[in-house]
Chains A and B, each alone.
Chain A
């Protein structure tokens, strides 16, 4: 069968599966809508958390990022997994014992303050929308590449699918669809990874393959070969990064703490039956995530090696098919600086800026670009990092069904995260703003309707951001993690571990951490991007890592303010005592 037919088949079948699950598991009460009824098995919840967590960025972009960053890519690997240790040990079991529905719920109740709750809702909505815009764009891009439709229609189809299972099913629908999506995405990721690892090293397990010798008879290790090949071409060695140690440290920390403070991840631990299950569930989530995260660096390294092997010093006329496919999709460009018809791949930029394709062909038959060449470098190949995972099956010459599988996997990853984010936005609006702040007398039915309306509205906003991505979307992904680290995490952490933390301290801490981090990222990413170089950074910390300083400011201000203001009331101290012991978590959901 043709690859394109297979893609339609795989994507169609997986979508039918998600919708079927959504109809089977639709939510009938607010408790089912917000926390899936609170009875999800911890292993199942771990799988759903993994799908929720691994977005289009993890599935499509991460291996490509690591392939080009080498050692520096470790910040994502450690950052996005280490946060689960913090979740399991420091947050999840206590939040589950608290037993309410949302993150602002905990902050509002623990700090006995509507103002604290509203500040938390604002942080949550801002973080979630920043994140979701990127997801919808991811859906659009994967669709347009694999289904051969314009990005606009790709986003519309994605919106329709998410609408059906998030609005109908709420948390209950999402949980079980995410389990299916996890299975699709991990299978889709592992199959080409096994193949490429086997082809390059003879060892099909990618985690072991990356530490093995290359299959070309030279007896050299993969990483050793990669280091040598890249240094020969003028790049830095693969196993050495270019970021400063303090920056690597801070970015890793900001990503870890941010992960532990991201509302759509935290809320998943409200759905298991017991406090001890929340710990167990965080462990399973990490196992399912680690399967992909320990594979990604291998995929990245193999793909980089293959890329250099098949492209460098190759005539354009004999370039492999995948090279021309991705060139046709605007993600690769060849600018023949020395006009020899052979592609020289070196360090540095081939052209200045992102390629602007002309309608004509250049001398060797490649697509001509209108960009100026960057004469400071001999490099002639422009390559978008995102193609590494998507092109992998083609680079390794895998059969059409594997390519179809990757298409279905990429869509599963983007859709599952988008749905999880939509849900925290809608629960915050209906539960925290409406029910707990402005309309306390609303009926259960009214609240459920409000949650569905809020989810619908959020889908339209997300779809709009996906179709017309404002230029700032790509610039501000750092916001989501930095702000979660600087605002929500410290407030939750101190709410559990310090009985004397009061509402004045918590609010002052959240506002100052948020304000500092926001202004720093805003200045370097949006207001004055030319100044975004290491010499101008505070202590040499990039905007990606600054959430750590925001977090420290949050802690310091909160503790200082709480020392000079009234202690929290006795009921609150009792609440903290009760969330610290696991007994009775099953009853907590009864109210």
Chain B
């Protein structure tokens, strides 16, 4: 999101902070892509196609929309919690 056209007037952040932020953004983009894919993707856009497969008594697209997305959301947040702790320790920026 940073606007690359207007470089900051002076170096405002340390190299460690910059690297930390870049790694954070990369992780964010990956996790938000999964977030989008399972809810909006499988639960809405691909639902009709997925409904031809069954998961027990659930048509698969319906399962994603009413159960699966929620489980995946929880997993995403806890993965982020653990991963960020590691990244923070790596750059010595943890709280």
Contact = CB atoms under 8 A, between A and B. Distances in A.
**Binding between chains A and B:** yes
B1 interface: yes
B32 to A, nearest CB: 7
B80 A89 contact: yes
Interface of B (DSSP majority class): helix
A337 interface: no
A576 to B, nearest CB: 9
Given A89-B80, A210-B57, A294 B67 contact: yes
B67 A207 contact: yes
B16 to A, nearest CB: 9
Interface of A (DSSP majority class): helix
B2 A283 contact: no
A577 B77 contact: no
B95 A500 contact: no
Interface in B34-82: 35, 39-40, 43-45, 47, 51, 55-59, 62-63, 65-67, 69-71, 73-74, 76-78, 80-81
Contacts, number: 152
A90 B24 CA distance: 11
A294 B43 CA distance: 15
Contacts of B94: 276, 582-583
A82 B73 CA distance: 6
A496 B8 CA distance: 16
A538 interface: no
Contact of A221 (B35, B57, B76, B77): B57
Nearest to B72: A85
A213 interface: yes
B90 interface: no
Interface string A567-591: 1001001100100111111100000
A269 interface: no
Range, interface on chain B = 35 or more
A224 interface: yes
Contacts of A239: 51, 59, 62
Interface in A465-507: 494, 497-500
* Residue of B47, B51, B62 contacting most chain A CB atoms (<10 Å): B62
Contact of B88 (A89, A211, A222, A582): A582
A89 B65 contact: no
B84 A276 contact: yes
B81 A283 contact: yes
Contacts of B63: 211
Given A239-B51, A573-B8, A584-B95, 7 more contacts: A85-B35, A208-B56, A223-B59, A239-B59, A245-B44, A276-B85, A280-B81
Interface of A: 66, 71, 73-74, 77-78, 81-82, 84-85, 88-90, 207-208, 210-213, 221-224, 239, 245, 248-249, 252-253, 274-276, 279-280, 282-283, 286-287, 290, 293-294, 297, 494, 497-500, 567, 570, 573-574, 577, 580-586
Q: Kindly list the 3 A-B residue pairs having the minimum CB-CB distance in the complex, ordered from nearest.
A: A221-B57, A74-B65, A211-B56
